[in-house]
Chains A and B, each alone.
Chain A
Amino acid sequence: MKRYLPLILVAYFIGCLLLILVLARQWQDTGQAPEQPIAFSHPIHAGNLGLECTYCHQTVARSPQATVPPVSLCMECHKNAAIDRPEVQKLRGFWERQEPIHWQRVYQLPWHAVFNHKRHIKAGVDCSFCHGELKAQARVRQVRSLMMGWCVSCHRSRNAPTDCWTCHK
């Protein structure tokens, strides 16, 4: 028994490591890049078609919230465009039922923090700085930790306010 002890220990640790990796992968899939009610493709809209971010996220430069577009905006194009695709048909289903789309939130802040998109856009922070290269994300996933340390490091380097109540509510 004693001879196998190191082997058992090594196997145990490798097992643990694998478990962690599997769990992490799982978490990545379900947590950081959740499945959406419609498999909307940023690579097609922002990449191939070259739409500006603000074409859909219209209030990003004038409101704290970037906001998801209203169904009516999607329908401006998808009245005619690509109406044979199954995902577009899902969208048209929402429109016909006059039903809002419940997207899964990817980037979320804790309850005690506020974030103002407008201020960051006006300060010249590019969308991709926090959200990554959306053109390459078939399914949107969280690319930044959104931890306080990450926020503060950038605020410090850019000489932005670091008063507690700038972000804490």
Chain B
Amino acid sequence: MQRREFLKLMGIVSGGAVLSSCGEDPHKKLISHVVPREGEVPGMAALYPSTCTECGAGCGIWVRVRERNPFKLEGMPGHPINDGALCIRGQASLSRLLHPDRITAPRRRTNTGDYQDVSWEQAMADVEQALSESGGRQVYLAGRTTGSLAALIDEFCRTRSFDRAPEVERFNHEAIRFAGDALFGRKSVPQYHLAEADVLVSLGADLLETFVSPVNFARQFAAALEKEQRWYHLEPHFSLTGNRASRRLVIRPDSEPYLLAWLLRAVPARRDLPAAVAAAVPAVTAEAAARQTGLPVTVIEELRDALRASSNPLLLAGGVALAGNNGRLTAVLAALLQWSLDMVGRTVDYERHENYETVGGAADFAGLVDALSDKQIGVLLISRLYHLDHVPSLRDALCGARFRVGLTDFMYPPYDGCDVILPLSHSLESWDDVEPRHGVISLIKPVFRPLHDTLSEGDILLQMMNNGLNYRTYLARRWGTIGRELLDQGWVIRDTEETTPTLQAGAPPPVITIQEPPADKTLVVVPSLRTFDGRSRVLTLLHEIPDPIATITYGNWVTLSVADADTLGITDGQELDIRTSGAGLRLPVKTHPQLAAGRVMVHTDQLDGLALPRDASSGEPLGILPIDSWQATGTRIDVPILSGSFTGAVGRGILPHDKPHHGPAHGGDDHATEHPPATLYPPKEYSRYRWALAIDLDRCIGCSACVAACYIENNVAIVGPDEHRIGREMAWLRIEPHLSRDGRMFFIPVMCQHCENAPCEAVCPVYATYHGSEGLNQQVYNRCVGTRYCANNCPYKVRRFNWFDHEWPSPLNLMLNPDVSVRPKGVMEKCTFCIQRIRQGKDHAKDQGRQVKDGEFTTACAQSCPTGAITFGNLLDRSSRIYALAQSPRAYRLLEGIGTEPAVYYLSKKRENA
């Protein structure tokens, strides 16, 4: 090509580019209100109280709303369940409201099996017609329901002659409720007062992850840290909960009854057991208990001594400890211990129990399954079901109903083939209340007009009852005198008429024979921190955040011990074929250094509908399965794994007391003393503020709530699995699991360290990254030209580059934080210490003519943390919490030896065994 031609061509191309950039409408609109909403100031976030409904725990939330769009959920301070914190799933649940795949209008199934949108009148008319014509029984089958809606469903079932089936919940704590029923006549899950116990022994229950009310337990854990509680956690696998206990004891799966039976006899009873009951407890010697559980005798004796010496102990069993063949027995023995050591009424609270009475066990559905199979059911109404894989008989029998009506927000598997689908509003679009714990009522209040043509379940039922009420008025009547307080405060605690039960003297001693636990390799099926029982799988954000244990983002996997992986000769990502009794599984593996040999861990929702064998006595699916055989298939699957975790960081100055040393050739001296930090730049001076963050590793449980909060607060893009595989995730904050030299596991949240001598600042050719007057390392997006020098020079690897323009598919774009920009492609980005919150905090303080007070505002990560591990503040304020923490002897900074002087202080753990 000639030079002239080239230039001409370039001219045409650049001219075209200029013209094409003019096409956009240059004017945004300023849209007026018709009538302003009281108390709302445009441009300022308003907070509305409500309750999170992502799981049944019932955490109180504040919904941050700007220009009538909810854009962030935060835990409600003072709420009896969660007191200000919110978990990863709760944070992400906002994207359920705005999910592009939500059902937007009522649907009717056509003859071809497809669905067509219809009007509400039409859909309701169809339902009414089916009710009058179909004949047979009518059944209402719903997920766990508490509060006013539960009462309304009862009323509805009475007036419209529906039979109410037991409620469906994957993790129904059947064994705990069985034990409560058998011993105390209370078929409920007690509330556990973790924080009040001086010795806590937990068996299997993943208290800090998914068990009953995890945020509540995490807050109690933080409170217990202050009082030096001794916490033993016994589990066959590895969990975040076990990792945070003072002592994690790895126990042989399903062998808990041996230990508990021994403890029942070995620890002196504080309350007498009836002779019949005492006699029924199997006699187990210390040696037998130790042999069966795989724990040394000294360890189980330590447990005995701790319980004996304790003035207010708590022992509880849950989760995987009750998921084996011995599940019910373990629960009964644990409950007997709770009675004999006088925990009932003190740390085990049946007065304010968790509301699980109406939830059904797998066996409770037998009648419904028979009726469905015999075609006795005319109309079946199903509501809020996510999957029925744990009751496959019911799942397969659903189509036996003549007419099925589904109430849901997404087309989950149980809704396949429903004749009419009635779309439900999200809880942020409806009035309601929940009562997750007996007497604790939490308000659900709409902050958003229904985005689609949807109704709340209450309104649908009231329409079908045809009594002219809407659900809002129904609730107001029901609330009566507590209504005012509920609306003002967001929650109310009612008096309880329940009493502390006593051991039922006439209770027949349950059959106590211990079944032989699996001897060899075991598959342990556990709920997932990110998706619980699978219900949160629709939320894409949760796939974007790595599972803190496996550090995998997208896809399914099994976790394998390092020893077994060596024996099998496989590495991360290679597929393993596992055969258990009646079930086969093929998934890529991820090794974990803390998992005991012979244990394979898999999440419930990663089984993809695999039918699990069931417990002979309760009919519940088992979570402890003996593995008959396993073998590598030879296939390699590219799973996105967070790089550098576990052992990659030892000796690099990331873990506490882990400063780099010179090798023996140099006398093995401390690197930092040999080369004292030096800088070429003059020291920086700050006049009013020097923002800093402190992260207490003693409190960090690795729950990743902060990561989700950061994503949502800062409009961090979701990039999908393909980008993850090539290491292009956009997280500003990540949780890095590391194993120290002495085998302890640390979860280290890493974000931009806002270094005093930031290596990124010196290499930016265009001054797009810049040291601010308050110590922040500022990234100016529109100045950035995308050289990526800064990311290459950052020793903490916290800078993220936008390789593409990222999209928030409508209506997800409504949850973008208006105070934070959406970064275009070609731009570097990173943690800002939530500059928008700093700006607002300073603005507020300036209005009152003062400096920002300590604790007046905080970053999104610190706000969401259930254990209060993250503290944000001004280092120049000598009275601030951050100043005290930065001066603490436990404080250290990452890679201190390289002289970057970060503004993020990490506090090493204080407990010796933690």
CB-based contact A71/B28 at 8 Å:
no
A102 to B839, CA, bound (A): 29
| Residue B847 lies at the interface, judged by CB distance under 8 Å to chain A | yes
In the complex, the chain A residue whose C-beta lies closest to that of B820 is: A169
Nearest CB of chain B from residue A65's CB, rounded to whole Å? 3
Task: Give the residue of B27, B28, B774, B822 whose beta carbon is less than 8 angstroms from that of A163.
Answer: B774
Checking A71, A122, A168 against B34 with a beta-carbon cut-off of 8 angstroms, the contacting residue is A71
Binds A, one of B55-63, B188-196, B263-271, B778-786: B778-786
A31-60 interface code vs B (CB 8 A; 1 in, 0 out): 100100000000000000000000000010
Bound complex: CA A110 to CA B28 (Å): 11
- Contacting B26 at CB < 8 Å: which of A31, A68, A163? A31
Q: In the complex, which of the residues B26, B44, B822, B843 contacts A111, with contact meaning CB atoms closer than 8 Å?
A: B822
The answer to whether B31 and A102 touch across the interface, beta carbons within 8 angstroms, is yes
8 Å CB contact of B41 from A62, A71, A114, A169? A62
Contact digits for B831-859, partner A, Cβ 8 Å, 1 yes 0 no: 01001100100010011000000000000
B773 at the interface (CB under 8 A from A): yes
Q: Is the CB–CB distance between A165 and B43 below 8 Å?
A: no
B42 in contact with A63 (CB, 8 Å): yes
Q: Which residues of chain A have C-beta atoms less than 8 A from B781's C-beta? A: 112, 168
B644 CB within 8 Å of chain A: no
Report chain B residues within 8 Å CB of A15: none
CB within 8 Å of B: which A77-126 residues: 94-95, 98-105, 108, 110-112, 114, 116, 118-119, 122
Q: Which residues of B contact A100 (CB under 8 A)?
A: 31-34
- How far is the CB of A56 from the nearest CB of chain B, in Å? 10
**Contact (Cβ within 8 A) B770 A71:** no
B36 on the interface (CB 8 Å rule)? yes
B36 A72 Cβ-Cβ under 8 A: yes
Contacts of B17 in A (CB 8 A): none
Indicate if B901 sits at the interface (CB-CB under 8 A): no
Q: Across the interface, which residues of B come within 8 angstroms of A116, CB to CB?
A: 843
- Inter-chain contact B43/A59, CB cutoff 8 Å: yes
In the complex, are the beta carbons of A103 and B821 less than 8 A apart? no
B494 beta carbon closer than 8 Å to chain A: no
Cβ A169 vs Cβ B778 within 8 A: no
- Give min CB distance, A121 to chain B, whole Å: 11
Count of chain B residues near A, Cβ 8 A:
35
**Contact A70 B836, CB 8 Å, known A59-B41, A161-B773, A169-B819:** no
Q: With A72-B35, A111-B822, A168-B780 known to touch, is A105 a contact of B41 (CB < 8 Å)?
A: no
Q: How far is the CA of A161 from the CA of B435 in the complex (A)?
A: 50
- B18 located at the interface, meaning its Cβ lies under 8 Å from any Cβ of chain A in the complex: no
Q: Which residue of B is nearest A123, CB measured?
A: B846
Of all chain A residues, the one with the shortest Cβ separation from B44 is A63
- Identify which of B36, B780, B847 contacts A70 (C-beta below 8 A): B36
CB A133 to nearest CB in B, in angstroms, measures 21
Question: B35 to A71, Cβ gap below 8 A?
Answer: yes
Would A119 and B843 count as touching, CB distance under 8 A? yes
Q: Which of B32, B822, B843 contacts A68 (CB 8 A)?
A: B32
Cα–Cα, bound, A32→B36 (Å): 29
| Chain B proximity of A96: nearest CB distance (Å) | 11
Query: Contact between A108 and B847 (Cβ–Cβ < 8 Å)?
Result: no
User: Contact partner of B843 among A69, A99, A118, CB < 8 A?
Assistant: A118
Does any Cβ of B come within 8 Å of A1's Cβ? no
Bound: A100/B782 CA distance, A: 33
On whether the beta carbons of B32 and A163 are closer than 8 Å, the reply is no
For B823, give the chain A residue with the smallest CB separation.
Answer: A112
| B782: A residues at CB distance < 8 A | 110, 112, 168
Asked if B616 CB lies within 8 Å of chain A CBs, one says: no
Nearest CB of A to B409, in Å: 28
In the complex, the answer to whether B780 meets A164 with C-beta atoms within 8 Å is yes
Interface pair A165/B36, CB less than 8 Å apart: no
The 4 A-B pairs at the shortest CB distance, nearest first, are namely A65-B43, A70-B33, A63-B43, A103-B30
A residues sitting closer than 8 Å to B (CB atoms) are 31, 34, 59, 62-65, 67-72, 94-95, 98-105, 108, 110-112, 114, 116, 118-119, 122, 161, 163-166, 168-169
**Supplied contacts A63-B41, A71-B35, 12 more A-B pairs, CB within 8 Å:** A63-B42, A65-B42, A68-B32, A72-B35, A100-B34, A102-B31, A103-B29, A111-B822, A122-B846, A164-B770, A164-B778, A165-B832
B interface, CB within 8 angstroms of A: 26-36, 41-44, 770, 772-774, 776, 778, 780-782, 819-822, 832, 835-836, 839, 843, 846-847
Q: 9 A-B pairs, CB-CB below 8 angstroms? A: A59-B41, A63-B41, A68-B31, A70-B32, A71-B32, A102-B29, A102-B31, A165-B776, A169-B820
